[in-house]
Homo-oligomer: A and B are copies of this chain.
Amino acid sequence: MVYAVGLMSGTSLDGIDAALVDITGKNETTSVKLVKFLTVPFKGTTLQNIREALSLESSDVEKICSLNIELGECFAQAVLDVCNKAEISLNDLAFIGSHGQTLFHIPYARDGFYASTLQIGASAVICERTKTTVVSNFRERDMAVGGQGAPIVPYSEYILYQKPETTRLLQNIGGIGNVTVIPKSGEIADMIAFDTGPGNVIMNELCLHFFNQEYDKDGFYASQGTVDYQLLEELMAHPYIKKSPPKTTGREDFGKQFTSSLLEKWSVGPNDLIATATMFTAKSIAEAVKPFVIGKTELIIGGGGSYNQTLIAMIKAELPEVKVLIQEEIGFSSEAKEAIAMAILANQTLQHCPGNVPSATGAKRSVPLGSITYY
């Protein structure tokens, strides 16, 4: 048994996800088992410090310098916490994979800025506090070989989900929807990953507008409405939906502004509009994954959208030939999955094995990711 901890701190700022795993092997023979998972919320002024460092207006070099060390301390504490909870001694911990907190990401070079990505959270501090070797800064190397540094989890998704007789579609529904396709009997190089279109972003904007709610809990509002098929048709005609993968989108395409223009142009009741937006997400996912539905296929849904029962029902209806599952049904939460991914990537790096998936990131070749801080 080799114990390792994977750490993830996402852009949602919910806290630090720490997954203690038992991991052996490498490459396709990697075997990984989740032992304990927890999310450690940010304490004190740390959350405010991150928010300031994320903003173009309030960030500066002094704040980033200090926050790098502060987050190193927080990440180290999360490792101590998860080991403590699992009653595993630090002496039995072989290594830590730490994603770091993303402060900025520039996927393509533009007007004086290099394609670049910035994750912070001092690896030396994590290493010292935990007396354990740390692998960190995974995305930079993928960018150095021409990739976008994202998505970073497909390699681990292959390890965790590949099945010889079943094509598996890993659909994440956050603000934006994205899918990873793992063809049955496929190799890592056969994987495809791209953004399917909107996830929860439009529904959330509408809930905020109509009901001052952050999101449509369990899909309640959508369940009370009726889909407006004329509007749905127009939505599905969006150029992004028509585009072939590989493709990426963001809130700049389907966010606040997009929702405002919908509200301006269409006089549809609140519940009906939310139902239609929900159906737009469902249908755009279904259309995006259909070309990859060959033989026995499973669609495994994770992210906040997996809790929206109306959305899940709609996706199921659109893909009758596909077995639709929720992330939790097959073992662990979406948050745990991302943290486990960091342990898998670190395991690869320590054995000088690759961790990126060029067909997903656009990199010229597969390379080991990250830097190693040995204890």
Contacts and interface: CB of A to CB of B under 8 A. Distances in A.
A307 interface: no
Interface in A326-341: none
Contacts of A68: 116, 118
B66 A114 contact: yes
A136 B141 CA distance: 14
Nearest to A140: B124
Given A371-B371, A372-B374, A65 B124 contact: no
Contact of A103 (B61, B105, B144): B61
Number of chain copies forming the complex: 2
Contact of A118 (B64, B136, B374): B64
B61 A59 contact: yes
Contact of A125 (B54, B72, B129, B140): B140
A208 interface: no
Contacts of A136: 371
A144 B116 contact: no
B104 A61 contact: yes
A87 interface: no
A113 B69 CA distance: 9
B140 A122 contact: yes
A62 B137 contact: no
Given A70-B114, A144-B72, A145-B128, A106 B56 contact: no
B62 A104 contact: yes
A124 B103 contact: no
Contacts of A62: 56, 104, 106, 113
Contacts of A65: 103-106, 113, 116-118
Given A143-B69, A144-B124, A118 B372 contact: no
Interface residues of A, number: 53
A26 to B, nearest CB: 14
Contact of A127 (B61, B118, B141): B141
A291 interface: no
A117 B66 CA distance: 7
Nearest to A365: B128
Contact of A128 (B55, B115, B141): B141
A368 interface: yes
Counting chain B CB atoms within 10 Å of each CB, which of A57, A112, A140, A370 scores highest? Answer: A140
Contacts of A112: 45, 66
Interface in A296-319: none
Nearest to A57: B60
B66 A56 contact: no
A137 B372 CA distance: 11
A73 B109 CA distance: 14
A77 interface: no
A290 interface: no
Contacts of A56: 60-62
29 contacts: A56-B60, A56-B62, A57-B60, A61-B104, A61-B118, A62-B104, A62-B106, A64-B118, A68-B118, A70-B114, A70-B116, A73-B114, A123-B140, A124-B137, A124-B140, A124-B143, A124-B371, A125-B140, A125-B143, A125-B144, A127-B141, A127-B144, A128-B367, A141-B373, A352-B374, A370-B373, A371-B371, A371-B373, A372-B374
